[in-house]
Structure 1
Amino acid sequence: MNETAHALGTSGTFWELIERRAALTPDRAFLIQDDRTLTFGDLRTRTERVAAGLYARGVRPGTVVAWQLPTRLETVLLSFALTRLGAVQTPLIPFYRDREAGFALRQAEAEFFAVPGTWRGFDHTAMAARVAPDLVVFEAYDTLPDGDPATLPPPPSDGAAVRWIYWTSGTTSDPKGVLHTDRSLIAGGSCLAHALRLSADDVGSVAFPFAHVGGPDYAVMLLLYGFPAVLFEHFALPDALADYRRHGVTVAGGSTAFYSMFLTEQRKDPARPVVPTLRLLAGGGAPKPPELYHAVVREMGVQLTHGYGMTEVPMITMGAPDDTVEHLAETEGRPPEGMEIRVTDPDGKRVPPGTDGEVRLRGEAVCQGYLGAAPPFDEDGFLITGDLGHIRPSGHLVLTGRLKDVIIRKGENISAKEIEDLLARHPRVGDAAVIGLPDAARGERVCAVVEQPPGTPALTLPELTAYLRGEGLSVHKLPEQLELVDALPRNQALRKVLKYRLRERFAV
């Protein structure tokens, strides 16, 4: 990490980081979207005005504010305005619907809720009225609250206070609120920046929801190194390519699905680089098939570095541009300084290097636990991930599976049980198991395996997805594959469904 970035990385709060970067390079671009540019100086000035507008509306240090907004300049300004106030913010992914959004709002005990109005055909304001009628709801798409910064209280100074609640699906049907501090998110972003070896000459891109925990992670990287990123409110290829080319993006990615989409575009015209300035694809959040790494490097002529992260720990390991080809293709990279990885047996005892076990984590980037739930830590303070893997002698981590029954599709966690619980209420479903299957484009695809009552007409995938939509399930959780079986495989003791047999059978 360069000296400037190292000095900025000692910041205890987001606001300190913003102020220091604005003082260093006020006229340099921070974010670019369409024909709009926000400089680091603009970020500081406009953030304070938005914070003053929120303060005038009653938002105070510690006030819980939820927001469900697309990836826009206004979204970033609102989020950082909340950090300036010392409020507790709980970002919600824009495609959450009544079920998930309502649960999160109630659990977080939110007092304010910022929504985009009607966005991409869905009325978020109406949803807010349905699921949380007592909240103060305001729209924050094109316009934001505005006020006089002179009215603001002093900025927060405690970077170790919980001020972020992110939501992730676990093995149960309800999401879990993950508690983060400014310091834990800054630590994650610092590690990401250092691993990727980026510089002030780079141009990044944010094509994933800023409401994802990767949003502040990426923003920290920009603030530390002083380079800009292009924002995409709705990412789709080939439509987005014009902005990648126009703004000279050098670093892109997000997850396995993004790599596959860029590769697909490259194959349409192999002789012409899909983005001439692009030099690096990077991301995480879903398994990366080794063959995808080799195809990207061979056909696109760019490097690909992949990592391991989760909502609880945004950055755990990352491939480095100077790693060997084998390590970049076959592993999740190495942990940064300050991140401890312990691989254990079921009793929590460390296993020898190269031996598979459960991955456990300790470090400043680790969350503070879950909202209203038992802390997910062992007696030594290590986060129990439920992921399986081993450490190579070189220090690189190899993931081999998961203990927890979660499907990771396009970098987002999906609870199999949530879908199974909804399917159990369908009159033409006797029993169901939902599994994740390897998918080159998505990381994993959602597959529903259904056992139907005798004499029931065969269920089709369109009927199944229409039913789940009607039950309020988010679109990104809908099964892409349906398999009908005479009987689900079960063990002989408790008749538990043996999902590994289903994965073996249908993973083609």
Structure 2
Amino acid sequence: MVTDVIDVVAEFPVDRKALSDLLRIPDTYPRLFPGIGACDPLETVEGDPVVRFRVGTPATEIRTHVVRMTSARDGDSIELHCPAQGSFTSIRLEGDQNRTRVTVTFFAPARMHPGMADLPNSAVVDWAVRGLKRVADLLLGAPTSVVVNGEDAPLRRRADIARQVVAGGVLRTYRPDSALRQWRRLAEYGFNLAGGYASGAVRVPNRPAVVDAWGSRTFAEMHRRTERLAAAMAEAGLGAGDAVGILARNHGAMVETMVAAGKLGVDAVLLNTGLPARRIEEIVQRDRLEALFVDTEYDHLVQYLHTDLPRFRTENAPGDGWNVTTEDLIGDGHREYRKPVQPGRLVVLTSGTSGTPKGARRPHPKGFATVAALMSRIPLRSDENMLIPAPLFHTWGLAALQLSTAVRATVVLPDRFDAEECLRLVHEHRITTLIVVPIMVNRILDLPAGVRDRYDTSSLRIVASCGAPLAGATVLDFMDTYGDILYNVYGSTEVSWATIADPDDLRTSPTTAGHPPLGTRLGVLGPDRKPLPVGRTGRVFVGNHMLFDGYVNSAPPDEADGMLDTGDLGYLDATGKLFIAGRDDEMIISGGENVFPRPVEEALAHLPQVSEVAVVGVPDREYGQRLAAFVVKREGAGLDSDMVRNYVRHRLSRFSVPRDVTFLSALPRGETGKILKRMLVGAGGDPPLPPPALGTAMP
């Protein structure tokens, strides 16, 4: 049993002042001491920071404690007081520039951590020494910021893959004849959408594969119809090595077009429905598209393209005699086409900050390793129902669709997102897995409680979000409302997945991006492309078997030791969880200080008056750069610019206080729901950019 007073003494070959400086920063503790999941700044009292620590794990219990940190002027004495629990920690440092002796005294430590009461004193001492060593390693530059999940252990990884696909029901061994036929279909079409539907046509031919507003198609129908569509596309002159564009919302005909193109060896470029006509014209020319498949509502975006470019409507019904639809092509009766040596690839457009988006060639899944990787962090099961309101032209929506065929899920595809309609579909179809982007999580929470209560969502086991950071306040609010079913996926078009935070991760550390899934290696590297110490912020690099096959017409990202640069800055904590600080081009230097917008966004997201917030860097004559905040208030909320600035001033550094605070009716968003910060950068200060110029509707 742990005692009320515990002394810890340790020595390290580091400079005393440098070690003291780190220990006086509250954020050092959740980064380097396991069991402390988060640190939220609350205020500053007489120069001392007052913070809220999140302590414990879901397995033991999670407690929040308000702690005041005080330190002597010379920095040789630091105390952490928690008056509410009658507990505090004293840290004393002695030494010089070469060596430091640290003495830590814990008073009533069991009152702070729910799992500590039953531990021996030696366990507490060991925990403290290990944490202090990580602080020293940070000062010494120890190359510890690399985590690997099976990538460097091929035999173990193969065993883990087999375990995941069997446990999830992807393969079942009690029907050898069925398994053999599945393998034959996968061998014929590949581990892609075409192979997934072809395999499902053998295993569960009558199970609905795709459900949209116009009806449903079984796995057998998806395989048969896409065979006919591929044959009709070949009859129209398309073949292996060609590329077509698809400009459509989520529906069955869009999926059939992607699958048929892949079967024919034709690359399918998935066009973002929010692109202007000029950008689409540039992509058509750049990628040498041989045909377009377009929803009727987007005719105005392609009407001025060259008339020689064939156009087909991605419709769920026959055409009108003038316009040929995918339904017409399927009904033409063609059956034969030349099988390609390699299936066609899917090309996803990156959400570039300016100019024409780059086309990123998505790789074909590598056997069962792809589904096993995601299942290692998300408990997917076979033969369940999945709702995908996230756009299929977005990497995350597309990845979920590909994953659905491996687990033979029935996929429900709404053509646009509406928060209440989303809950209705969950209720009607007994959805178990919901695939969203962060703005959809916010919109569901924004619904009045009475509206949310109309729908039974108890069937939900998984709500998987990807595409942008989720605010910590939003994470906790959603899980408190719907249970611990939220999964936060961090990745990109170029690296596919990087990390996944499961509900336990998010309960402990609401802002974390999580751990890497099976077969993934992740490193936080410095300017020299070498690993940094745990806890230090650097560039995030990722390696796995699903790294993209390059851009259509652009140089690839930087590479280091087989890992690609994500363009994000972040750090690893002592447990191997990743935290994203922001994009490398979002960090500003204000008065010589490195400042990130995200901590300011996180702080403001806790204000009950704030519905949404975005913070960007803008030029400043005196300091070089400064932060500007754009806030969407909740209806009827009383909030002004001074209140926002004062709130931040008492929680973060003075350089983090946004000098400009602009209130908007909505933040500018792209078709995937991602905030378009580039539209805000030029709007800092007075006069504010008017809301009508910023507002965009969700698809």
- The 2-side partners of 1:189 and 1:91 are apart by 22
> Where in structure 2 are there 5+ consecutive unaligned residues?
1-163, 172-178, 317-324, 588-596, 599-613, 619-624, 634-666, 668-672
Deviations 1:24-82 (A, max 9, x none): 11111212223622111111111111111111111101111011011111110111011
Change (3 A) 1:324 1:128: closer
What's the TM-score once normalised by structure 2's chain length?
Answer: 0.57
* Residue 37 to residue 31, structure 1, CA distance change in 2 (3 Å): same
TM-score (norm 1): 0.76
The yes-or-no answer on 1:151 pairing with 2:303 is no
2:605 corresponds in structure 1 to none
Separation of aligned partners in 2, 1:246 and 1:331: 33
Determine if contact 1:89/1:163 at 8 Å carries over to the other structure.
yes
Q: 1:211 pairs with 364, 373, 393, which one?
A: 393
Quote the Cα distance in structure 1 between the aligned partners of 2:683 and 2:314: 45
Equivalent position of 1:202 in the other structure: 384
| Shift in Å, 1:181 | 2.3
Structure 1 letter corresponding to 2:350: T
1:52 corresponds to which of 220, 231, 234: 231
Q: 2:253 corresponds to which letter in structure 1?
A: E
> Does the 8 Å CA contact 1:344/1:351 hold for their aligned counterparts?
yes
Counterpart in the other structure of 2:583: 402
Matches within 5 A, 1:381-392: 381-392=562-573
2:314 to 126, 140, 149: 140
* Structure 1 segment 240-255 matched on structure 2, within 5 A: 240-255=422-437
**1:378 positional shift:** 2.0
Indicate conservation of the 8 Å contact 1:64/1:88, yes or no: yes
Q: Does 1:2 align with 2:184?
A: no
Distance 1:171 1:33, change over 3 A: closer
Equivalent-residue separation in structure 1 for 2:448 and 2:220 (angstroms)? 37
Q: In the TM superposition, what is the alpha-carbon distance from 1:225 to its structure 2 partner?
A: 1.1
CA drift at 1:139: 1.4
Q: Does residue 271 of structure 2 align to residue 106 of structure 1?
A: no
Give the SS at the match of 1:261: helix
CA drift of 1:273 comes to: 5.6
Question: Does structure 1 residue 65 correspond to structure 2 residue 276?
Answer: no
Whether contact under 8 Å (1:187, 1:365) holds in the other structure is no
1:451 Cα offset (Å): 7.5
**CA offsets per residue over residues 353-399 of structure 1, 9 Å max, x none?**
22211001122111122222222132533211110111233332111
Whole-angstrom CA distance in 1 between matches of 2:280 and 2:366 = 24
Q: Which moved more, 1:60-69 or 1:236-245?
A: 236-245
Change (3 A) 1:363 1:167: same
Shift of the alpha carbon at 1:116? 1.1
Alignment-mate amino acid for residue 136 of structure 1 = P
Deviation at 1:158, TM superposition (A): 3.7
In structure 2, the residue matched to 1:448 is 680
Contact 1:388-1:402 at 8 Å conserved across structures: yes
Q: Secondary structure at the match of 1:183?
A: coil
Contact 2:490 2:498 in 1 (8 A): yes
Contact 2:522 2:543 in 1 (8 A): yes
Q: Measure the CA separation in 2 of the matches of 1:258 and 1:451.
A: 26
The Cα of 1:188 is off from its aligned counterpart by 5.3
Q: Write the distance in 2 (CA, Å) between the matches of 1:434 and 1:126.
A: 39
**2:512 and 2:529 mapped to 1: Cα distance?**
23
1:380 to 542, 552, 561: 561
How far apart are residue 437 of structure 1 and its match?
5.9
Offset of 1:205 from its aligned partner?
0.5
2:427, 2:455 within 8 Å by CA — same for their partners in 1?
no
Q: Among 304, 310, 317, which residue is 2:499 paired with?
A: 317
Q: Please report how far the alpha carbon of residue 435 of structure 1 lies from its aligned counterpart in structure 2 after TM superposition.
A: 7.9
The equivalent residue for 1:498 is: none
Tell me: CA distance 1:435–1:361, structure 2 relative to 1, closer, same or farther (3 Å).
farther
Change (3 A) 1:350 1:366: same
- Listed as ranges, the matches of 1:328-347 within 5 Å are 329-347=510-528
* Conservation of the 8 A alpha-carbon contact between 1:309 and 1:316: yes
CA-CA distance at 1:245 after TM superposition: 1.4
1:461 aligns with 2:690: yes
SS of the equivalent of 1:343 reads strand
- 1:175 partnered with 2:361: no
Structure 1 residues 322 and 352: alpha-carbon distance in aligned structure 2, compared to 1, 3 A threshold: same
Q: How far apart are the structure 1 equivalents of 2:420 and 2:502?
A: 28
**1:307–1:451: structure 2 CA closer, same or farther, 3 Å change rule?**
closer
Task: Give 1:220's aligned amino acid.
Answer: Q
Written as runs of structure 1 = structure 2, the 5 A alignment for 1:212-361 is 212-265=394-447, 267-268=449-450, 275-321=457-503, 323=505, 325-327=507-509, 329-361=510-542
Once residues 459 and 330 of structure 1 are traced to their aligned partners in structure 2, the CA distance between those partners, rounded to angstroms, is: 30
SS at match of 1:175: coil
When Rg is computed on C-alpha atoms for both structures, the one with the higher figure is 2
Aligned partner of 2:572: which letter?
Answer: I
| AA partner of residue 297 (structure 1) | M
Q: Secondary structure at the match of 2:576?
A: coil
* 2:345 paired residue number: 163
How many angstroms does 1:264 deviate by? 2.4
Amino acid at match of 2:474: L
Partners of 2:252 and 2:264 lie apart in 1 by 19
Structure 1, residues 233-278: CA drift from partner, whole Å, max 9, x if none? Answer: 0111223433221111122241211112222236235766652422
Q: Does structure 2 retain, via aligned residues, the 8 Å contact 1:69–1:141?
A: no
Q: For the residues of structure 2 that align with 1:373 and 1:86, how far apart are their CA atoms?
A: 23
Mapped partners of 1:295, 1:232: distance in 2 = 25
Does the C-alpha gap of structure 1 residues 94 and 270 become closer, same or farther in structure 2, counting only changes over 3 Å? closer
AA partner of residue 222 (structure 1)? S
2:128 maps to which residue? none
1:131 Cα deviation from its structure 2 partner? 3.9
* Most deviating of 343-352 and 330-339: 330-339
Match of 1:16 in 2: 195
- Equivalent position SS for 1:19: helix
Partner SS state of residue 419, structure 2: coil
Aligned to 2:159: none
Q: Distance in 1 between matches of 2:206 and 2:464?
A: 27
Residue 45 of structure 1 aligns with an amino acid whose one-letter code is R
Note if contact 2:437-2:468 (Cα within 8 Å) is conserved in structure 1: yes
Task: Go from structure 1 to structure 2 and tell me whether the alpha carbon gap of 1:273 and 1:15 turns closer, same or farther (over 3 Å shift).
Answer: closer
What SS does the corresponding residue of 2:301 show, helix, strand or coil?
helix
Q: Secondary structure of 2:170's partner?
A: helix
Q: Label 1:64 to 1:324 Cα distance change in 2 as closer, same or farther (>3 A).
A: closer
The CA deviation at 1:444 is 4.0
SS of structure 1 residue aligned to 2:225: helix
Match for residue 216 of structure 2 among 37, 40, 53 = 37
Structure 2 CA distance for partners of 1:98 and 1:81, relative to 1, 3 Å: same
Q: Deviations over 1:392-413 (max 9, x none)?
A: 33332111111135999xxxxx
8 Å Cα contact 1:191-1:315 kept in structure 2:
no
The separation in 2 between residues aligned to 1:225 and 1:365, in whole angstroms, is: 19
Summarize the Cα distance change of 1:359–1:181 in structure 2 as closer, same or farther, 3 Å threshold: same
Q: Are residues 128 and 365 of structure 1, via their aligned partners in 2, closer, same or farther at CA, if it must alter by over 3 Å?
A: same
Structure 1: which amino acid aligns with 2:680?
A: A
Aligned twin of 2:302: 128
Per the alignment, do residues 240 and 172 of structure 1 end up closer, same or farther by CA in structure 2, a change over 3 Å counting?
Answer: closer
Alignment deviations for residues 70-121 of structure 1 (CA, whole Å, 9 cap, x no partner): 111111011101111110110102222213212222221111111112x2xx
1:283/1:23 CA distance change after superposition, 3 Å: same
Query: Partners in 2 of 1:386 and 1:129 — Cα distance?
Result: 36
> What runs of 5+ residues in structure 1 fail to find an aligned partner?
409-413, 421-431, 467-474, 478-508
* Identity among equivalent pairs (%): 23
Counterpart code for 1:128: V
CA distance in 1, matches of 2:479, 2:438: 14
CA 1:325 to 1:110, structure 2 compared with 1: closer, same or farther past 3 Å? Answer: same
The alpha-carbon distance between structure 1 residues 366 and 266, as it changes in their structure 2 partners (threshold 3 A), is: farther
Q: Distance in 1 between matches of 2:692 and 2:429?
A: 43
